[in-house]
Amino acid sequence: MTGLATRPVVYSFTDHRVHRQEPPLIIAEGDGIRVRDVGGREYIDALSGLWHANLGFSEPDLIAAATAAYAELPAFACALGRTSAETVLLAEELLQAAGGKFRSVYFGASGSEAVESVLKFLWLAGNTGGAPARKLIVTRDSGFHGTTLGAATLAGIPRQHDGFDLPLPFTVRVPRVHFYRDHLDGESEDEYVARIVRTTRERILAAGPENVAAMVAEPVMAAGGVLVPPDGYWPAMARLLAELDVPLVSDEVVCGFGRLGHLFGYQRFGLEPAAVTVAKGITAGYAPLGAVLLGADLTAAIAAAADTHGVLGHGSTFGGHPVAAAVARANLRIIRERKIYERVAELETLLETSLEELLNLPVVGEVRCVGGLAAVELMADGVARRPFDPERGIGRRVAAEARARGLIVRDLGDVIALCPPLITGATEVMEIVSKLRAAIVAAVTEEAR
């Protein structure tokens, strides 16, 4: 059978072979952490849409902010030396909230645009700053950074390259950090970190640090499997980057705006990035917006480029849209006034404690949790770290069984990812884990038949 399974819409990140038998889920309305489909069936959305609906699906203050902004100035561009008042205020508030670590903000309309933009700014800085050879970007296996050409090139996920003539040749690819799967038998966490950092050093030195513009990395990998780094990883990596004079760009499209219990994920790990890319949680998903927070060096480089090139030949019609900016400002107020960071700390404890109970299932090898992000790693033999044959699609079956029980999760291969709204409470966490347990048992039982 051929043809587009989901016509008339082309769905991203979708296996159309599956949806020839399974129709797409079409959502009609949402309330709190729950959504309802067009048939009236209710689900807990334990993925927050696509890692982005941090405050759920019915936050009145965000809706009011958007409504008021539409009434005042429904459209304007941040370009040609003019912008909206809301956009300027948002930039100022972001810089203040980041504690003076950055000097300017560039606005796009998505996370992909943000990452694509910072790549161009890094190359612009090298070209105008007397270091035109600095073109290479250090990026990690299993990383996800967006879907535009440059952002997808950074990805360490093969399906983002297959069929697209990607990746482009400007990366230095280094190992991911996934202790459970990748450590050698008998290797401690410290020994594992030392090995990964040593390999990273070797690959940067082989490429020539003088040719490297930056390392782009997520504080915690999301789409790559919710990979939480061991405690020693980021301190060791920060020392290495400083030694080799390689700036860090922290990709916070998922990790930012409270998801890890801080405004930005880099703060949780004590990092000092040269730039930060954000989207998703900046508006809690209520309007499309992406941004790059630029440190002093990149800000100065962009300003200096005017003397050589005049017009900054880069932009976005919808970047910094006044309605999106107003929603983002309201989101910042909610995060501050409702003490969202404290709620995330409680959510992390709830998720970690509840999910650990799944370890008594033979097919659960590991559970991971940091802030409001969590994952359950499914294995044919969790103790021996023996994975299922990918062709069996165990993770997909678990996600389907969860959906049948009114729970939306995401299967990343045989990793079940959870990213519930940050407003999720204790009773709701218990319901999520109960439904997930039932889904795992049902999927494995069906597989055994």
How far apart CA 126 and CA 122 sit, in angstroms, is 6
The set of long-range contacts for 67-72, using a CB threshold of 8 Å and a minimum separation of 24, is 68/326, 69/322, 69/323, 69/325, 69/326, 69/327, 70/323, 72/322
Residue 389 sits in a domain whose CATH number is 3.90.1150.10
Query: Which pLDDT does position 397 carry in this prediction?
Result: 95
Residue 336, token pair as written in the block: 């501050």
Q: Do β-strands 364-370 and 410-412 pair in parallel, antiparallel, or remain unpaired?
A: unpaired
Integer angstrom CA distances of residue 283 from 34, 79, 87, 144, 223? 19, 21, 13, 20, 20
Where are the extended beta strands (E) located within 275-338?
275-278, 290-294
412 and 378 together in one domain: yes
Residue with tokens 């930060």: 276
Residue 154, token pair as written in the block: 């950074």
Residue 181's closest CA among 396, 388, 393? 388
Per-residue confidence in pLDDT tens, the chain, 449 aa: 456 666 788 888 888 777 777 778 999 999 999 999 999 999 999 999 999 999 999 999 999 999 999 999 999 999 999 999 999 999 999 999 999 999 999 999 999 999 999 999 999 999 998 899 999 999 999 999 999 999 999 999 998 999 999 999 999 999 999 999 999 999 999 999 999 999 999 999 999 999 999 999 999 999 999 999 999 999 999 999 999 999 999 999 999 999 999 999 999 999 999 999 999 999 999 999 999 999 999 999 999 988 888 888 899 999 999 999 999 999 999 999 999 999 999 999 999 999 999 999 999 999 999 999 999 999 998 888 899 998 899 999 999 999 999 999 999 999 999 999 999 999 999 999 999 999 999 998 866 55
Query: Which pLDDT does position 426 carry in this prediction?
Result: 97
121 and 235 together in one domain: yes
Query: Which pLDDT does position 1 carry in this prediction?
Result: 46
293 and 305 together in one domain: yes
Does 39 map to a domain?
A: no
The DSSP secondary structure of 152-190, one letter per residue, reads: HHH---GGGTTTTT---S-EEEE----HHHHPPTT--HH
Does 45 map to a domain?
A: no
Does 348 map to a domain?
A: yes
Sheet of 27-31: strand order equals: 27-31, 34-37, 42-45, 407-408
SS (H, E, C) 221-233: ECCCCCECCCCCH
422 and 333 together in one domain: no
Where are the extended beta strands (E) located within 280-324?
290-294
The DSSP secondary structure of 70-128, one letter per residue, reads: HHH-----SBTTB--HHHHHHHHHHHHHTTT---EEEEESSHHHHHHHHHHHHHHHHHH
Q: Which of 303, 337, 371 finishes a domain? A: 337
Query: Which pLDDT does position 383 carry in this prediction?
Result: 84
Q: Count structural domains, the chain.
A: 2
Question: What is the length of the chain?
Answer: 449
How far apart CA 419 and CA 297 sit, in angstroms, is 34
319 and 393 together in one domain: no
CB atoms within 10 A of CB 187: 14
Does 51 map to a domain?
A: no
CA 338, 100, 137 angle in degrees (round to 5)? Answer: 105
213 and 78 together in one domain: yes
331 and 343 together in one domain: no
Does 17 map to a domain?
A: no
Integer angstrom CA distances of residue 71 from 58, 322, 326? 20, 11, 12
Is residue 302 within 8 Å of 311, Cβ to Cβ? no
Query: Which pLDDT does position 353 carry in this prediction?
Result: 97
Radius of gyration of the chain (CA): 22
Domain that holds residue 76: 62-337
Q: Do β-strands 248-251 and 212-217 pair in parallel, antiparallel, or remain unpaired?
A: parallel
353 and 333 together in one domain: no
Which amino acid, one-letter code, is at 350?
L
Residue 424, token pair as written in the block: 């999720």
Does 53 map to a domain?
A: no
Q: Which of 310, 337, 364 finishes a domain? A: 337
The set of long-range contacts for 355-360, using a CB threshold of 8 Å and a minimum separation of 24, is 355/418, 355/433, 357/433, 357/437, 358/433, 358/436, 358/437, 358/440
214 and 91 together in one domain: yes
Query: Which pLDDT does position 8 carry in this prediction?
Result: 83
Query: Which pLDDT does position 359 carry in this prediction?
Result: 96
How far apart CA 378 and CA 362 sit, in angstroms, is 9
214 and 347 together in one domain: no
276 and 345 together in one domain: no
User: Global pTM?
Assistant: 0.94
Q: Which of 337, 364, 381 finishes a domain? A: 337
How far apart CA 400 and CA 405 sit, in angstroms, is 9
What is the maximum span of the chain, computed from C-alpha positions, in angstroms? Answer: 70
287 and 365 together in one domain: no
